[in-house]
Amino acid sequence: MQAFRYRGTDSHGKRVAGQIDAGSREEAVRRLRQAAILPIDVTAGEAAAAVPADAIKRTGKTRTAITRAIGELAVLLEAGIPLERAMALLLDSIEQAPLRAEFAAMQQAVKEGAALSRTLAERPALFPPVTAAMAEAGEADGRLGPALARLADALQREDDLRALIVTAMIYPVILVVLSVLIIAMMLLFVVPQFETLFTGAEDRLPAPSVFIMEASRTLRAGWWWMLLLLVGGGFALRQVFTRPQARAARDRWVLTLPQVGPLVRSAETARFARTLGVLVEGGVPLPSATLLAGRAIGNSHMAAAVREVARGMKEGGGLTAPLAAADIVPQKAIGFFRTGEETSRLGPMLGKLAEVLDRDVTIRLQRLVGLLTPAITVTLGAVVAGIIAAIMAAILGFNDLALA
């Protein structure tokens, strides 16, 4: 197989570009046409196709499209349609041309005899490890359709949880941004209107008035380097947190925050429990399933603890006791893990645990937003009132000095 870079247009006439694996240029052109892409230029490129896949992965829209595609493939397989034909039919429902090209390459590989699990594993930038594991388990017991259906349901619930968190935090974020803008506007444009009244009398003004005016002068004189410092500081922090040790320290600290820590713990545990439950029900051995499910956890501190638990399980250890000792999951989750292990119904119990934690996340989000909104509003009101009070105090004090 060789990698070919292509440029072309999709069925809507939109220009697209990407990379596709094929045995020859003619085969690459044929696969692109199967994906409803009219190739303009197809040239041999580097063997790695990770760059286009990474670009696809970064968009939430594509993640949703992948979840939908897996669900539709499961429906087609459960209807008795052969895998290669089901994947060919699936291409018509994928709107994004680069993603459609990836699925066309997968369909061609399956047509040539490759297992679906292998084609999924070869694209880690697009599909999480749990996807290939579930497909492999479904292929092993001849129930690929139901396995993909359970996987699609888990991915959809994870997307719903992510969307819930993002939606709930939109209003507080907008409120913070507006608060910063309002305070900056007052310091940049309102305070200077009164500054000329007190020229030469700064030494007789109240301390709060002097502080506000100095803050206004500083912001007007150096807003550009403050903005540059803010952007540079954000970039520097981002670079620091790419290091595993710094990221682990940050994630460990986040778990200790009031309100935020329990929310993150519940959300990550729900994702872990749902993924682990799907893998266990799909027939994946528990140690391997635990290791794979741990990769779905976004908090690096919790993920590292789960990896240690999985390593201990491979050496003959259990699941519940090490998880409880690691103190990374909510206390209520331990009972579900223990009951599932003792009754040999770990998969269904973890599914119920994920539902319980989803409700807990919703309640905690509502509570957090309910606390943040008035707190931000009161803080903004206090700062604005403080600025106005400082200006009024200066005016009144100046008038008193003039009358005296």
What is the tens place of the pLDDT at every residue in 78-92? 999 999 899 988 888
Q: Do residues 6 and 26 lie in contact, with contact meaning Cβ atoms separated by under 8 Å?
A: no
Q: Is the pLDDT of residue 54 over 50?
A: no
Phi/psi at 246 (5° precision): -65, -40
Q: Is residue 191 pLDDT above 80, yes or no? A: yes
Candidates 208, 210, 216; CA nearest to 192 is 216
User: Which tokens go with 270?
Assistant: 């729900």
Residue 204 half-sphere exposure toward CB, CA atoms < 13 A: 13
Phi, psi of 315 (to 5 degrees): -95, 10
Which whole-number Å values give the CA distances from 215 to 137, 186, 205, in the listed order? 64, 11, 15
- Token duo for residue 295: 């990769």
Cα(first)–Cα(last) distance of the chain, in Å?
A: 93
How much is the pTM? 0.69
Q: What contacts 64, CB < 8 A, 6 or more positions away?
A: 159
φ, ψ of residue 247 to 5 degrees: the values are: -65, -40
The pLDDT, as a whole number, for residue 333 is: 92
pLDDT at 202: 66
Inform me whether the pLDDT recorded for 1 exceeds 80.
Answer: no
> Rounded to 5, what percent of the chain is helix, strand, coil?
75, 5, 20
For 157, phi then psi, to 5°, come to -65, -35
* Residue 312 per-residue DSSP state: H
Identify which of 38, 85, 98, 92 has the alpha carbon closest to the alpha carbon of residue 69: 92
- Given pLDDT bands bounded at 50, 70 and 90, which one contains residue 211? confident
Lowest mean pLDDT among 37-51, 107-121, 292-306, 378-392: 37-51
| 10 vs 352, more confident | 352
